[in-house]
Amino acid sequence: MFAVFIKEINSFLNSLIAYIVIAVFLTTIGLLMWVFPESSILEYGYADMSTLFNLGPYVFMFLIPAITMRFFAEEKRTGTNELLFTRPMTAIDIIMGKYLAGFVLVVLSVLPTLLYFYSVYQLGKPVGNLDISGTVGSYIGLLLLGGVFVSIGVFASAITDNQVVAFVVAVFLSFVLYSGLESLAAIDIWGASALILQQLSIVFHYGALSRGLIDMSDIVYFLSVIGVMLLLTKLVLDARKWS
C-alpha cells in the first residue's frame, strides 16, 4: 500500500495535476468569498465561512473526479495494471494506496483555506466574532466529504478504461449522493420513506456537521460510504481480473 501511495504522490508532484487542482480550488473559493458580489463576505458585511462550506462541495464535485479519473483507467489503458498487480500486494493495498494519495491531495487543497479563516476571524467586530464550533464542524465535514468523493472517483476509475467516462460517472454519482437524494426526497410521493431517503444523502449529514453538531452517527455515515465505495472497487477489480 505504501509503495502505491508514494508512487501516486510522486506522480502528482512531478506533474501539474496537484498544483493545478489546488490553485483552481483556492482561486475559485477566493473569488467566491472575496470578489463576486453575490457571495462576497465584504458585500454582506457578516463574518462567516459559509461561502467556502456551501460552495466548496460543488467545486470538489468536479475537481476530485479530475484527480481520480486516471487512477485505474490509465493503468488499464496503458497496460501497466499487469505490472502493478504482479507485485506482492493485495487489491486492497493497491486501492488504499491510490485512495490515500487522492485524499492527501484533498487535505492539501483545504489547508490553505485556513488563511481565509484567519482573515474572516480578524474582520469580525469584535475580532474573533465567528462561530468557531460551526467552522470546526464544517472543516471536518468538508474533509470527510472530500474523502467520500475520492472513494467515488476511485470506484468510477475502476469500472472503465476511459478517463472521460470515469470523470463523468464520478461527477454524476457524487451529485446524486450529495444532493440528488435529498431533492428526490422533496418530491411528494414517498410518504414516510422521504425521511429515510433524505438521511441517505450526504448533504443531510454534512449540514449537521456544519452546525457544529459533531455527532458520531454522521462520522460513521461518511466512513461507511467510503468503505462501501472502496469495497465495490475491490469487487470490480476482482471481477475484471485486470488481465
User: Each residue of 140-150: pLDDT tens digit?
Assistant: 999 999 999 99
Whether residue 152 contacts residue 170, with contact meaning beta carbons closer than 8 Å, is answered with yes
DSSP state of 146: H
DSSP state of 235: H
| Rounded-to-integer distance, Cα 127 and Cα 139, Å | 21
Domain count, the chain: 1
Distances (CA, A) of 33 to 2, 30, 44, 85, 104: 37, 5, 10, 45, 24
Top-confidence residue, 192 or 205: 205
* Residue span of the structural domain in which 128 resides: 2-240
DSSP, collapsed to helix, strand or coil, labels residue 38 as coil
Q: Which residue has the cell 464542524?
A: 137
Characterise 213 by phi-psi region: left (phi > 0), alpha (psi -120 to 50), beta (else): beta
Characterise 124 by phi-psi region: left (phi > 0), alpha (psi -120 to 50), beta (else): beta
| Rounded-to-integer distance, Cα 86 and Cα 167, Å | 27
Mean pLDDT of 189-206: 82
- Tens of pLDDT, residues 66-112: 999 888 877 666 666 655 656 667 888 889 999 999 999 999 999 99
Burial (CB count within 10 angstroms: exposed 0-12, middle 13-18, buried 19+), residue 117: middle
Minimal CA–CA distance to 162: which of 64, 73, 65, 68?
A: 73
Which amino acid makes up residue 23? A
Which amino acid makes up residue 240? R
Whether residue 127 contacts residue 117, with contact meaning beta carbons closer than 8 Å, is answered with no
The torsion defined by the Cα of 51, 219, 134 and 56, in degrees rounded to 10, comes to -10
Prediction pTM value: 0.90
The torsion defined by the Cα of 234, 237, 238 and 243, in degrees rounded to 10, comes to -160
pLDDT surpassing 90 at residue 169? yes
Residue 35: predicted pLDDT: 84
Mean pLDDT of 184-199: 78
